[in-house]
Amino acid sequence: MTQDLPSPLTQTAADPGASTEQRLHALKAQVALLEEAARQATMLFEHLPTPALLLDAQGRVVSGNLRSYELLGASPGTLLGRRFAFFLHSASQGTFTALLDRAQQSGERLRGEVQLQADDGAPQEMLLEVSPHEGQWLLTLTDVTPFKEAHRRLMDTAHLQEEQLRDVNLRLRQLAEEFEAVMRLSEQHLHHRLTRAGNFLALYRQEAQPRYLGHVEAALDQTQNLLESLEQYMQMRFMRTRMRRVNLEQVWRDVVKEAKRELAGRDVQITGAALPVLEGDSQVFKLILAEYLFNALKFTRTREHTRLQLLVEETGTEYRIGVQDNGVGFNMRQKERAFELFGRLHADEQYEGTGLGLAVVRRLCERFGQRAWGEGKVDEGATFWFSWPKVLKEG
């Protein structure tokens, strides 16, 4: 084990043969050296790149460096003599006191995390290191607020991604269940229609009645319509959308223009408010409006004068757009059935259709987080609505 060699000044001061004047001179030189060392140590302390404080046994500030004054926003005159806990967030004062107690018992350097109460009210996250120093406490502070904030953002992002993953998995399960239901119901409907066609063909072979061929032809037409509706449904489910500003007034004009054959020979009057410009996909809007229009034309076929009206309701966040007719209407107790897969409110013999049109509309709206619903009264007409936001949310 090595020992520091005594300096000449120390030897002179301790030499009993030296004169009093020599020993005094040596002692003064020693004091000067110690004062210079203390001055340099103080300079190093004051200019440390990390905020540092010296506390007494009661936790009051004895000294601090320049960075500590900047951090705490205080001058030496206002900082010295104050308890350091005063600058801590109330939630961290107990943590700081416990840290000092543990350091006092162990005599070791300890670390802990505390929050400083900033002037703007937002706490600063600090890593605090406490070490004993000649009966006092030396504190060093490291601002870890950016790291804490980055960690919080990382955790928030991870949480958001977990939620999004759960949503995607839920949608996939719902989609799988929906496809299973579509396939099961399609099989039932196709089996029913083809069985019916087969029965009429058997009767025709037995009796050679031409009227049976008409029934066969009708059953085959229904089967073809069902297959076409299923194809449309599948196309809708996998449709790639393109978000942009869409003029619904122009979309409606295109839909009415394509309905000329259904309008021919009928007294149909279409009135209503001007439609807004919305953010969305033009194909989606066209499918919705076309289904509502053709649905209204179908169920007003028995009316001598058909009256259709476009309705627009506006709230602070969304538009509600409806197509109202004066047709046969429906019982409101069956309003949800109209939007079910293969849901029909009227018999096949009265009105053609597969029961997929309104189901397609609802699923298109739900795909964008929107709603589709119907209102009606028997023999007094019906109104079918869909909602759309003024600002479409991302995703």
Of the candidates 36, 41, 38, 11, the one whose C-alpha atom is nearest the C-alpha of residue 23 is: 11
For residues 344-350, give the mean pLDDT: 59
Which of 86-95, 108-117, 173-182 is predicted with the least confidence, judged by mean pLDDT? Answer: 173-182
Supply the pLDDT for residue 274. 92
| The pLDDT of residue 276 | 95
Residue 258: its pLDDT value, please?
A: 93
Whether 268 shows a pLDDT value over 90: the answer reads yes
Q: Give the span between the Cα atoms of 278 and 281, in whole angstroms.
A: 9
Record the tokens describing residue 341, joined without a space. Answer: 């897969």
Residue of 235 and 85 predicted with greater confidence: 85
Sign of CA dihedral 272, 277, 278, 280: positive
Higher pLDDT, 246 or 202: 246
Pick the more confident residue, 157 or 394: 157
CA separation for the pair 194, 192 (Å, rounded): 6
| pLDDT > 70: percent of the chain | 70
pLDDT, residue 168, reads 79
User: Range with the lowest mean pLDDT among 62-76, 217-231, 360-374, 377-391?
Assistant: 217-231
| pLDDT at residue 214, rounded to an integer | 62
Predicted confidence at residue 2, as pLDDT, reads 45
Mean confidence (pLDDT) of the chain? 80
Residue 241, pLDDT > 70, answer yes
What pLDDT sits at residue 344? 62
255, 270 contact by CB (below 8 A): no
Residue 1's pLDDT is 43
Q: Is the pLDDT of residue 202 over 80?
A: no
Separation CA 172–CA 270 (nearest Å): 40
**Average pLDDT for residues 331-344, to the nearest whole number?**
78
Q: Which residue has the tokens 């028995």?
A: 302
